[in-house]
Chains A and B, each alone.
Chain A
Amino acid sequence: MSLIHLENIEKTYHAGAPLHVLKGISLDIERGEFVAIMGASGSGKSTLLNILGILDTYDSGEYWLNGTLIKHLSENRAADYRNRMIGFIFQSFNLIPFKNALENVALPLFYQGVGRRRRNALAMEYLERLGLKEWAHHLPSELSGGQKQRVAIARAIITQPQIILADEPTGALDSQTSAEVMDLLRQLNDAGMTVVVVTHESGVAYRTHKIVHISDGVIGRIETNLDPAATPFGEGGLMK
């Protein structure tokens, strides 16, 4: 079975007038894939990612993650899945503002019950790997956008999750740092992690290996893009 298996996922929001966001999504993502979910705003792509990350629930259909049906999970089990299986990268970074870079990176390990000394050492190791060793004791407000996103990436991967879910990871960054971030994600994919990126930017989507076009709550075309360097938007090409 695939790492992620979606079958006829439907989701309706009931805020005022009911809004049918996902109208039957079926999708398989294999272990080790580098996938982009692309669509205009309002197409339902973020909702889909939130469901994949167990941050949101769905109304009908089935979502199998690593062979487990993700439905009606207890809060505790959902928390544990998010903690051990999934790493999140957000457009707005979502770093905790009153914690320094090191503490932010170490936080997922805190929820695994790892001791302070060990988790700080690990966090420092990951920050160093991302070239942020000197910034470890700075607050997020003292970091640039690119640095913040790298801190967020370090935080996402410190638990060595199987899946990285990135929601518009370059949305708040300029084109050069965007390229750096996408490069980092590719490196993670090369190291064996499954990476799913949600974006509306072609320059981001075409740096992945598989592009799932979604519009108006349904999946349109699925493109394979095995050689990102060859496309005009791919690596080395236009970013934004």
Chain B
Amino acid sequence: MWDSMQEIFANLRRNKLRTALTGLSVSVGIFLLIVLLGAGNGLIHAFEHNAGNMALDVVRLWPGFMSKPYDGLGQGHTVRFDNRDLRLTSAGFPGRVLRSTGELSQSSVRVTAGSENATGELRGVFADYADMNKVVVTDGRFVSPLDLSERRKVMVVGRKTAADLFGDARRAVGRLVVADSTVFRIVGVYADRGQMGSMTAYVPFTTLQLIYNKGVNVESILMRTRGVDTEEADETFRADLRRSMGALHRFAPDDESAIWIYNSTTGAKESAKAMGVLRTALWLVGLLTLLSGVVGISNIMLITVKERTHEFGIRKALGARPWSILRSVLLESVIITALFGYVGLVLGVVATEYMNVVAGQQTVTVADLEMPVFLDPTVDLGVALRALAVLIVAGLLAGFVPARKAVRVKPIEALRAS
């Protein structure tokens, strides 16, 4: 065995340039595969990270406008939600809607604390808004049911706002601020994930309705649901919602634009599908690149075998068994692929790590939310090793065809070859 290895390495050394070029095509192939998969993973991770803003059992409703006249109301009539919609959605879909909460907002609110001030939006929410929208409270607490029923003037601010107002986010809890002309007590601070621009502060829904004179208006509805996560159930649920709310607001049950419905489960499904397509495409491109490397090896092995035919003839005349010749060609092919494949693999992993350092933290600001565009662009070691295994098997196959050809030649024909 050791002897045959030495023979192979001697042979590889004799054709340094050729070995290097073949190896390069293999290395580049696996390098590109790893980098592509890494980059793809970066996009996918970032997308998943951004998509993770809402719990999966949440259905959200926004009012729209009527796209056709119905029941005496003209086309373009604007639908407005109010407390009746909350009651309707809470009670009207037993088993499907577990809870229905509303949301209201007041923009351009000036919040001051001493000489510091911040301007932005107050958002009136229910207690389980935090859970539904994955708002993470780092200090204090979020708006509670008691705050809502007693219409307390409490506020939950973002870390950045808290820091702007009080210097340190941790000192904010318990302090008083003035919003426009009303005094609020800060009861909690939430992680705003590096939110830029204007502030968003949460206050009890009922408080906001009262203070800003919103009457019974509701801007949008957030519902916790159950059993509407299949496409079919989702369709039925949408139709039922349109019919019931249409009866309340006098729009046609088939009017698609009168209310807007977002089901986070089906949304997640859509994006999962898109991510799946992206992933498949990346694998396909990567494997094709790999294939070109394998074709490269196969080519080189064909040439090598052709060149060495005379030598194989001599060896056969001296008593070499077919297997010993077959084995030497196969081993040569496998050694090239494994060795250079490994080099490509290591370089690929290094490149993805480099990408991680350079581009891994890149973000884009959409509205007031900062989102990563590229997150953790690395490849699973298992995937990398599997790619290497594929490559070695491919090397074996690439070597097999020329090797079998070499073995099948009659010794006298091999000896005649020059």
Given contacts A55-B415, A57-B410, A94-B415, contact A75 B321 (CB under 8 A): yes
Proximity string of chain B (290-315) to chain A, C-beta cutoff 8 Å, 1 when within and 0 when not? 00000000000000000000010111
The answer to the question of B17 belonging to the interface, with a C-beta cut-off of 8 Å to chain A, is: no
**Structural contact, A111 and B319, CB atoms closer than 8 A:** yes
Per the bound structure, the CA–CA distance linking A88 and B415 in Å amounts to 12
**Looking at the complex, which one of B14, B314, B320, B415 makes contact with A79 (CB distance below 8 Å)?**
B320
Question: Hey, which chain B residues are within 8 Å of A111, CB to CB?
Answer: 315, 318-321, 324
Chain B residue at smallest Cβ distance from A99: B10
Number of A-B residue pairs having CB atoms within 8 Å of each other in the complex: 61
**Structural contact, A80 and B319, CB atoms closer than 8 A:** yes
**Structural contact, B412 and A50, CB atoms closer than 8 A:** yes
The answer to the question of A213 belonging to the interface, with a C-beta cut-off of 8 Å to chain B, is: no
Proximity string of chain A (90-109) to chain B, C-beta cutoff 8 Å, 1 when within and 0 when not? 10001110100000000110
The answer to the question of A137 belonging to the interface, with a C-beta cut-off of 8 Å to chain B, is: no
**Looking at the complex, which one of B3, B14, B318 makes contact with A82 (CB distance below 8 Å)?**
B318
Residues of chain A from 62 to 95 with CB closer than 8 A to chain B in the complex:
75-76, 79-80, 82-84, 88, 90, 94-95
**Structural contact, B412 and A56, CB atoms closer than 8 A:** yes
Chain B residue at smallest Cβ distance from A76: B321
Per the bound structure, the CA–CA distance linking A146 and B313 in Å amounts to 22
Question: Hey, which chain B residues are within 8 Å of A112, CB to CB?
Answer: 319
**Structural contact, B410 and A108, CB atoms closer than 8 A:** no
Question: Hey, which chain A residues are within 8 Å of B319, CB to CB?
Answer: 79-80, 82-84, 108, 111-112, 159
Question: Hey, which chain A residues are within 8 Å of B316, CB to CB?
Answer: 55, 79, 82
**Structural contact, B3 and A110, CB atoms closer than 8 A:** yes
**Structural contact, A98 and B14, CB atoms closer than 8 A:** yes
The answer to the question of B411 belonging to the interface, with a C-beta cut-off of 8 Å to chain A, is: yes
The answer to the question of A44 belonging to the interface, with a C-beta cut-off of 8 Å to chain B, is: no
A167 CB to closest chain B CB, in angstroms?
10
| Interface size grouping (class) on chain B | 20 to 34
**Structural contact, B318 and A107, CB atoms closer than 8 A:** yes
Question: Hey, which chain A residues are within 8 Å of B323, CB to CB?
Answer: 76
Per the bound structure, the CA–CA distance linking A159 and B311 in Å amounts to 20
B316 CB to closest chain A CB, in angstroms?
7
**Looking at the complex, which one of A55, A96, A98, A110 makes contact with B412 (CB distance below 8 Å)?**
A55
Proximity string of chain B (399-416) to chain A, C-beta cutoff 8 Å, 1 when within and 0 when not? 000000001001110010
**Structural contact, B3 and A79, CB atoms closer than 8 A:** no
The answer to the question of B317 belonging to the interface, with a C-beta cut-off of 8 Å to chain A, is: yes
Question: Hey, which chain A residues are within 8 Å of B317, CB to CB?
Answer: 53, 55, 82, 88, 94
The answer to the question of B322 belonging to the interface, with a C-beta cut-off of 8 Å to chain A, is: yes
Per the bound structure, the CA–CA distance linking A83 and B315 in Å amounts to 10
B323 CB to closest chain A CB, in angstroms?
8
**Looking at the complex, which one of A75, A96, A110 makes contact with B314 (CB distance below 8 Å)?**
A96
**Structural contact, B322 and A79, CB atoms closer than 8 A:** yes
**Structural contact, B321 and A79, CB atoms closer than 8 A:** yes
The answer to the question of A155 belonging to the interface, with a C-beta cut-off of 8 Å to chain B, is: yes
Per the bound structure, the CA–CA distance linking A107 and B4 in Å amounts to 12
Q: Point out which of A55, A56, A98 has the most chain B C-beta atoms below 10 A from its C-beta.
A: A55
Per the bound structure, the CA–CA distance linking A15 and B14 in Å amounts to 35
B91 CB to closest chain A CB, in angstroms?
86
Question: Hey, which chain B residues are within 8 Å of A107, CB to CB?
Answer: 315, 318
Chain B residue at smallest Cβ distance from A97: B311
Given contacts A56-B412, A94-B415, A96-B311, contact A108 B14 (CB under 8 A): no
The answer to the question of A116 belonging to the interface, with a C-beta cut-off of 8 Å to chain B, is: yes
Question: Hey, which chain B residues are within 8 Å of A88, CB to CB?
Answer: 317-318
28 contacts between A and B (CB under 8 A): A53-B317, A55-B317, A55-B411, A55-B415, A56-B410, A56-B411, A56-B412, A75-B407, A76-B321, A76-B322, A79-B319, A79-B322, A82-B316, A82-B317, A82-B411, A88-B317, A88-B318, A90-B415, A94-B313, A98-B10, A98-B14, A107-B315, A110-B3, A111-B318, A111-B320, A112-B319, A116-B3, A155-B318
Given contacts A55-B316, A80-B319, A111-B319, could you give 6 more A-B pairs where the C-beta distance is less than 8 Å? A55-B317, A75-B322, A79-B321, A82-B318, A83-B318, A111-B321
What are the 9 closest A-B residue pairs judged by CB atoms, nearest first? A83-B319, A55-B412, A56-B412, A111-B319, A55-B411, A79-B321, A108-B318, A75-B322, A82-B319
